[in-house]
Amino acid sequence: MLACSHFHVIFTISHLLDPLWRTNTRFMTDILFQSARDTLFRELGPAGGRYHLGTPGFIAALHTWGRNLHLHPHLHCLVTGGGLSATGEWAACRNGYLLPYRKVRSVFRNRFLELLWRRLERGELALPKEWTEQKAKTVVLKAWKKKWNVHLREQYAHGNGVLKYLSRYVTGGPISNRRIVAFENGRVTYRYKDHEDGKTKTLKLPTNRFIWRILQHVPEPGTQVVRHYGIYARQKQQDLEVCRAQLNQPPVQEPKALRWEDYLEERSGIDPRVCPVCGAHLLSTKLKPEPRARTTPSESLDHAA
């Protein structure tokens, strides 16, 4: 992380596109990341102009759930309050102001729907049941007329708080055990906080519907849900070091790899590699799993529903 201010920006797509998200999850995920990246680079990049500072760095994390586990695809971005100019100099944003909200909202919506429309025109989108190509185009055009939600939060002196916030979501998943109140008569009751009135409420769902709500947020295998761009991208390590030097930071130190056995021994004082009965070192063996039929994520969701 650079020793500079950071901004928290949240990009959310229109709920009109939820059916297309479910049938094209991987593609929709990719264009959500791409649209957010293109929007920030266009408005903050080193081309010159009122809001152009230089190439920023930002970390983007995908969230697909709302507080009651309904589908709510959005992207949390932690953006540097400045960027690396074309001449190799660090330029900080002025007066704690990153970008105009209305401009960002419009650019993001247009870029996302432009990419979606191209794929639709080429017939490369999987359509939901009972949808025709014309129906899909009508929905996309309606989404173009909507005002999309993009939140530009206040400036933070550093990005550590937002980074911890994103980390909890990435590792914790859509729901924690403590939010599950009861499981009775084939129904699951869980708590959630309503963002409209701020009150804590409960929702009771049949087991299969509860499972379905969770499964729709499980990423497809190989999906990268956290991505780094600009001077935070891995291939831009040299640019990052230039910025760190100008901000009086030492070069990046690669963290030392920590094995789980060493971590457990350090925390508990017990070496998990030693048999607690005879004291001999344990030997790991590989078990061959039984073959099973493979299903696609969409097939799993249909079965759960």
pLDDT, one tens digit per residue, over 42-55 is: 888 866 556 788 89
Angle at 170 between CA 165 and CA 176, to 5 degrees: 85
Tokens standing for residue 291: 């073959």
Per-residue pLDDT at 297: 53
301 confidence band (pLDDT: 50, 70, 90): low
Identity (one letter) of the amino acid at 249?
A: Q
Q: Which two tokens stand for residue 171?
A: 């590792």
Element counts in the chain: helices (H) and strands (E): 9, 10
Structure pTM?
A: 0.84
Q: Is the pLDDT of residue 23 over 90?
A: yes
pLDDT > 80? residue 298: no
Q: What's the farthest any 2 CA atoms get from each other in the chain?
A: 72
Question: Does residue 127 carry a pLDDT above 80?
Answer: yes
Average pLDDT, the chain: 89
Measured between alpha carbons, how far is 37 from 42 in angstroms, rounded to an integer? 8
For 228, the token pair is 């780094």
Higher-confidence position of 90 and 256: 90
Backbone angles phi, psi at 82, to 5 degrees: 160, -175
Reading the block at residue 221, the tokens are: 């295998």
Q: DSSP of 184-241, one letter per residue?
A: ETTEEEEEEE-TTT--EEEEEEEHHHHHHHHHTTSPPTT---EEEEETTSGGGHHHHH
Tell me the pLDDT band of 90, cut-offs 50, 70 and 90.
Answer: very high
Tell me what pLDDT residue 302 has.
Answer: 55
In this predicted structure, the answer to whether residue 69 has a pLDDT above a threshold of 80 is yes
What pLDDT score was predicted for residue 300? 52
Rg (CA), the chain: 23
Residues 209-236: tens digit of each pLDDT: 999 999 999 988 899 999 999 999 999 9
**In the prediction, which pLDDT does 10 show?**
95
53-67, 72-86, 279-293: least confidently modelled range: 279-293
Angle between helices 297-304 and 207-215 (to 10 degrees): 160
pLDDT at site 212: 94
- For 74, the token pair is 């959005």
